[in-house]
Structure 1
Amino acid sequence: MPSTARFVLDPAFAVGDVDPRLFGSFVEHLGRCVYTGLYEPGHPAADAEGLRTDVLELVRELGVTAIRYPGGNFVSGYDWEDGVGPKESRPRRLDPAWRSTETNQFGLSEFMDFVRKVEGTEPMLAVNLGTRGVKEALELLEYANHPGGTDRSDQRVAHGDKEPYGVRLWCLGNEMDGPWQIGHKDADEYGKLAAATAWAMRLVDPDVQLVACGSSAQFMPTFGAWESTVLEHTYDLVDFVSMHAYYEEKDGDRDSFLASAVDTESFIENVIATCDHVGARLKSKKRIDISFDEWNVWYSSRPETERRNWQEAPRLLEDVYSVTDAVVFGSLLIALLRHADRVRVACLAQLVNVIAPIMTEPGGPAWRQTTFFPFAQASQYGRGRVLQVHVDSPTYETAKFGEVPLLQATAVADEETGAVTVFAVNRSRTDALPLEVSLRGLEGLTRVAEHSVLTDADPDARNTLDEPERVTPTAAEGTSLDGGVLRATLPALSWNMIRLS
């Protein structure tokens, strides 16, 4: 068993280029994500349209590149027409998905205003294939993307948006394999509906990119068979199949929780295998990629603090993340980057308040959760070409995944500047992990520009309203680059970003 973790970086051995949309996020009408989250008219920091400028500033800092909307479970019972036009005439509706009351004061136009103000991001819209179908999807597409001269596009113009939104990314429903989903369908029924919707949408706008619903999780009893059946109907009509995965510590088994990315990588590779098997069977030269459009740490088994009794914007799913959660979160990011050749879109669920990196208080401040920092660093420095990383690392035993490496790592080369950034997690809860990285064909790298580490003596330390900066990244000491070898020490239970220039 090695005492030092090692791997080799060589630009001749790469995974693929990072699609910027890998650093996407997700806004759903759930809890306080929208109302008193990113949208709060009357807040001291609200702009003329009711968007919180303090939240906008943090979203820009986070580096989000795509934003999925409006759901999520919410979309399967949602009539998009309720959220457009004059606000005073918009109806109040029951939202059965989250047992809340939806005021519809925030809708498509407000969302597009938010996307424009974030800057550097693009919208990703979901259509309702739960209670609605082809006709409603086409009308939404016409409203959003057609220049004018038709009923729906002229409605958009009359509502104040003269220019079309130009939305490229579209989800064909959400988690339609899940029995909890409004309008739940079996794979054959959904596959036929998704194919019909995709075919019709391409008639209206041939440039759209479409995401078919994959399994809601790898543990679903229909996993694999669902993807196979759906893709048999949709293979030549869609560009992506979706993946969703959430992780939490259960029964005090922190060691298995820290190894959650083992499951993520297995999930990705199994979906890729299924996609390619269907393509081979259909004798297609087309490749289906992955939209991992929901992922995060989520303590879904915890009891909710608010009852679902048709409140407006109740406090739901407001997990407060620890250092341990941030380390697991960082390992999930690394897993996505390690499969950047096929994971082309990914959306952190969600953006504000609801299992989110950004928290707010109504009428009060906004602050960063511990998970904010790994995402912001990866979005800023994880652009470029992912290099292959095969670690030789000490291991530890887990109840759920067996023997697991203490080191989880990836590296991204910026081909414009020549810089390389290593992202690494030390899963050990007790010991620092020495790291050595041999650099081949990277003679231009001469110094360590930065070694940022997120860790804390208290693995349960959190950022809260009372202590919003309790946990922040710090600079590590002793990291060196000499003779083509990077040497560093990764503290116990830590997320690390090492930039070489």
Structure 2
Amino acid sequence: MTDQKKAKITIDREFKIGEIDKRLYGSFIEHLGRAVYGGIYELDHPESTEQGFRTDVIELVKELQVPIVRYPGGNMVSAYNWEDGVGPVSQRPKKLELAWRVIEPNYIGTNEFADWAKLAQTEVMMAVNLGTRGIDAARNLVEYCNHPSGSYWSDLRRSHGYKQPHAFKTWCLGNEMDGPWQVGHKTADEYGRLALETAKAMKLVDPTIELVACGSSNANMPTFPEWEATTLDHTYEEVDYLSLHQYYGNRSGDTANYLAKTLEMDDFIKTVIATCDYIKAKKRSKKTMHLSFDEWNVWFHSNQQDQEIEPWGIAPPQLEDVYTFEDALLVGSILMTLLRHADRVKMACMAQLVNVIAPIMTETGGSAWKQTIFYPYMHVSVFGRGTSLQPVVSSPKYDSKDFTDVPYLDSAVVWNEEKEELTIFLLNRDLEESLDLNIDIRSFSDYRLKEHIVLENDNLKAVNTVNQTAVKPHSNGNASLDAGTISTQLSKTSWNVIRLGK
């Protein structure tokens, strides 16, 4: 092996980026496709609870340790009347759901989702409709969900069988309101004014809640980042987070370019941070705006088949991407990018959780299984709790169609001081060769090597199905530790997790 294919990392416990908010590993359930009906909920499934929640799905969600789930949308929320989803199920209306052009039967609503979240040991990130509705509906929903009793909406919740308030802490002020596809699409000024006044009303009902304002739907929007600046000009002192959304795909089949797309993501985050800090300076504010990257994933495989779905069915299969091994590599890189911005990105949601561009898939009446992307998501969620450290990296680089100086080595480091654990996440982007790596951990000289997990496959297009798990990790990595240095050889196009502890 030539010197060109050698890399080095130095890790020091003093090189702290920031504390990792556990909500960085959140996900998303929208009333879309089979995410709810046929995903988390299937009344007649042999493994369902009396309420209809699939316990096999719940067990997989718990394996991922998902800390928060955004609900009920997504594009769907922008024409959704939350009142349709509460009260006796038999009396709930079936409505035309305009975002995805299906029938919404409203079998599952706010209270049922709160029940599911408890079973799945997760919290709810609730979204309000700022497309067709506004201040009144939003403040009523907060009252319904969070006020203890003694008012119209809180007592209505109690009459529906929920005496204790749900106490939802995190709320989204609409969804992708910059997008012309959005029902109730608004200009930045229109949205900023509405979001400000809605935020004020919601916090009068419950001052303890945290609010997320809509950022741009993606970094390629013609209004980005002016949308962020204008929106924050209105809302800066009343909201707690600004959202980012971005999806990635390998439409051209160029894997080297595809695996470099997180450089683009890194620039996106930096631009939003800079915009937030500009408004902070402009307003002479002492408050630092944090970010919620509450939609991210790979999404492109199902685009063609989604165009062929007949409208106005109930829970047709939509956005059911079947993920490849190379998609899992990019998901790992996305998660590492979020970790390297843990000082400002405090929440994030993989979109979505079940069946719809998801790590978990189900068969109606049958099994649930793990897609390829399940594994890096699980690894980072389970082992990525604590403080994000800044690794000092020396790596050979390559150029691709859209990117120059792409490091073959991508990495992130998490130190859990309380548990005395150090976790190093690594991606080798090289399509042809393994990468010799030395990691200087003399700052953690009293730690020992516990495990080296590897996700690898000679076939970049390998997928998992209900009948076959072609892509899954093993713990036979070759890392060794001697005199404060980890030595390892990362196999080509591989995802690696090196774990150390006392």
* Cross-structure match for 1:476: 476
* Cross-structure match for 1:373: 375
Structure 1: runs of 5+ lacking an equivalent? none
* Cross-structure match for 2:354: 352
In structure 2, give the amino acid aligned to 1:75: V
- Local SS of the residue matching 2:211: strand
In structure 2, give the amino acid aligned to 1:256: N
CA distance in 1, matches of 2:284, 2:460: 51
* Cross-structure match for 1:248: 249
- Local SS of the residue matching 1:391: strand
Question: Is the 2:332–2:377 Cα contact (8 Å) retained in structure 1?
Answer: yes
Shift of 1:441: 2.1
Shift of 1:301: 7.3
CA distance in 2, matches of 1:302, 1:252: 15
Shift of 1:308: 3.8
* Cross-structure match for 1:424: 426
In structure 2, give the amino acid aligned to 1:145: N
CA distance in 1, matches of 2:188, 2:237: 17
Shift of 1:475: 1.9
* Cross-structure match for 1:80: 82
Structure 2: runs of 5+ lacking an equivalent? none
Question: Is the 2:212–2:243 Cα contact (8 Å) retained in structure 1?
Answer: yes
* Cross-structure match for 1:309: 311
Which string of whole-angstrom CA distances, capped at 9 and with x for unpartnered residues, describes residues 12-42 of structure 1? 1110110000010000000000000000001
Which string of whole-angstrom CA distances, capped at 9 and with x for unpartnered residues, describes residues 354-389 of structure 1? 000000010010000011111111111100111101
CA distance in 2, matches of 1:286, 1:396: 40
Q: 1:201 aligned to 2:202? A: yes
Question: Is the 1:325–1:371 Cα contact (8 Å) retained in structure 2?
Answer: yes
Question: Is the 1:11–1:440 Cα contact (8 Å) retained in structure 2?
Answer: no
* Cross-structure match for 1:45: 47
* Cross-structure match for 2:489: 489
Shift of 1:433: 1.1
CA distance in 1, matches of 2:337, 2:70: 21
Question: Is the 2:301–2:322 Cα contact (8 Å) retained in structure 1?
Answer: no
CA distance in 2, matches of 1:347, 1:301: 20
| Paired residues for 1:442-457 under 5 Å | 442-445=444-447, 447-457=448-458
In structure 1, give the amino acid aligned to 2:318: L
Which string of whole-angstrom CA distances, capped at 9 and with x for unpartnered residues, describes residues 406-459 of structure 1? 1110110010132210001111111111111111321221x2211101111111
Question: Is the 1:9–1:437 Cα contact (8 Å) retained in structure 2?
Answer: yes
Question: Is the 2:218–2:245 Cα contact (8 Å) retained in structure 1?
Answer: yes
User: Aligned to 2:72, which of 50, 70, 73?
Assistant: 70
CA 196–4 in structure 1, closer or farther in 2 if over 3 Å, else same? same
In structure 2, give the amino acid aligned to 1:279: K
CA distance in 2, matches of 1:179, 1:391: 42
CA distance in 2, matches of 1:95, 1:374: 33
* Cross-structure match for 1:3: 5
Which string of whole-angstrom CA distances, capped at 9 and with x for unpartnered residues, describes residues 316-359 of structure 1? 11001111000001000000001000000000100000000000
Shift of 1:264: 1.1
- Local SS of the residue matching 1:452: strand
* Cross-structure match for 1:290: 291
CA distance in 1, matches of 2:266, 2:462: 28
Question: Is the 2:453–2:477 Cα contact (8 Å) retained in structure 1?
Answer: no
- The percentage of aligned residue pairs carrying the same residue is 51
CA distance in 2, matches of 1:92, 1:477: 53
In structure 2, give the amino acid aligned to 1:388: Q
* Cross-structure match for 2:499: 499
| Paired residues for 1:6-155 under 5 Å | 6-119=8-121, 121-155=122-156
Shift of 1:62: 1.0
CA 301–87 in structure 1, closer or farther in 2 if over 3 Å, else same? closer
Question: Is the 1:18–1:340 Cα contact (8 Å) retained in structure 2?
Answer: yes
- Local SS of the residue matching 1:221: coil
In structure 2, give the amino acid aligned to 1:177: D
Aligned-CA RMSD value: 1.0
- TM-score w.r.t. structure 1 length? 0.98
